[in-house]
Structure 1
């Protein structure tokens, strides 16, 4: 099965009655996601696109039983309480498509996780093509179906926009995508790149793993450290190769400090660990041809 999400996973949307929550609820429903309920305190009894709204996650669990995934469309300064509420209710995965979450709030969320997988903060979400989406990867039903075709390559990206671009490239050349995930944009994330690679390695539908990395942070170096536990082919592209030290690239989590987090450091670590590092995204395809035929 796909990792993180599939057509059988039950999904809850926290903040469903807001502008973003309502719009993304419609997208997820149209794509085929099993959205069973929404939560907005004080809005119990309303519905959004036919999805019933409750006051709390606990009420939803009492009505529907175990919830697999919650997606939080709640502003960064207020999202901590919502995520902890979902964790306490036993939700298995929480997707946080929100930026500007206070760092101490993110750290508190992580300390409370207790087995809940936190995707983000700042993640566009996760998608298993043809099955389900949590978040807003693809943006619309039509665009998502064009960019993400079902297949056998796991795509894990540090860039939101490039998650769709790489998935489209892989799909266009006939390999397709098992699951795609955008790790998130914030400096500290609930789940890191290395952990997603390990998840993909255990997924029966994923025969190869493609990483879209970028300069800044140590996500790629951390991934290199776990490659001895990975037996599937891994291909990586690292964006920002030509930028000098100290330049902020893309978003808050991508900044080089000295050699640490540099393109050279990341490439060396990954290649020494057996990852195929390419010089351009189109080279991902030629590498896939080598390993998958």
Structure 2
């Protein structure tokens, strides 16, 4: 799904934010082959050709990353999948819920994988592959995979992991209420790549982490190889905390319930980011 062989198109790569991260991705080793932008006055940036639509590009693209405004994400998504893209990373936050639902429906019918919206992207350290906004200096190659709803907590825990077992791949699922890849699907991706040790970074609200870990164990992950850390331990009920999807609604959305349930499954919990460094047995 994500490797050094992927050919990447950056949507919104002429803007200040998109151009900065496109350059960082190229420097890391990602094979960026083109850029799509509504800016009619720029035809090349950092050596990458810029097009109005992906259909204008005479080449193959299998992966796209979006830095476009929220109201333009659905249009960019349609352009990408109509031109053969199978993996899409949506950095943009606050995408209209109806647009996200339309994208999920289209993705399932076309066999398209989505990370996000409102996600930091993906980094594969052994492949020098980054389609996202994470600071790569905090991700030293190793054997622990990360599945995270949070971007900043992904970076912080990766920094601590880099002082220990290191990071193999990190998947940022996103913080919007509707996201393309859930925790269970994240574990499925890691299973296909052959990774066994997983750090799950969750947050308040919903049951995605619970259902994800149950599925992970079902498909062969050992509970003792899964470590979980939750953000929002002291969040008041009914109050949204940071991410649009992070809101406690009922008992099962509380951190205390999730931690207790996952402990019963055999998963180890950590209370602080720095504890992940020594969370796995050798």
Q: CA deviation at 1:45?
A: 7.5
- TM-score relative to the length of structure 1: 0.88
Output aligned runs, 1:90-169, within 5 Å: 90-113=84-107, 114-129=110-125, 131-138=128-135, 144-145=136-137, 147-169=138-160
Matched, 1:178 2:168: yes
CA–CA distance in 1 between the matches of 2:278 and 2:27? 34
Q: CA deviation at 1:268?
A: 2.9
Output aligned runs, 1:125-274, within 5 Å: 125-129=121-125, 131-138=128-135, 144-145=136-137, 147-173=138-164, 175-204=165-194, 206-226=195-215, 227-232=217-222, 233-274=225-266
Structure 1 64/238 Cα, relative in aligned 2: closer, same or farther at 3 Å?
same
Mean Cα deviation higher: 217-226 or 250-259? 217-226
- Report if the CA contact (8 A) 1:90-1:116 is conserved: no
Q: CA deviation at 1:275?
A: 2.1
Q: CA deviation at 1:105?
A: 0.3
Mean Cα deviation higher: 40-49 or 6-15? 40-49
Matched, 1:57 2:54: yes
> RMSD of aligned C-alpha atoms?
1.8
In structure 2, the gaps of 5 or more residues are none
Q: CA deviation at 1:81?
A: 1.0
Q: CA deviation at 1:281?
A: 2.5
CA–CA distance in 2 between the matches of 1:33 and 1:224? 30
Matched, 1:278 2:270: yes
CA–CA distance in 1 between the matches of 2:80 and 2:41? 17
CA–CA distance in 1 between the matches of 2:132 and 2:41? 22
Partner-residue secondary structure (3-state), 1:212 = strand
CA–CA distance in 1 between the matches of 2:112 and 2:84? 8
Partner-residue secondary structure (3-state), 1:267 = helix
Matched, 1:11 2:11: no
- Report if the CA contact (8 A) 2:203-2:230 is conserved: yes
- TM-score relative to the length of structure 2: 0.92
The runs of at least 4 consecutive aligned structure 1 residues that moved more than 3 Å come to 41-45
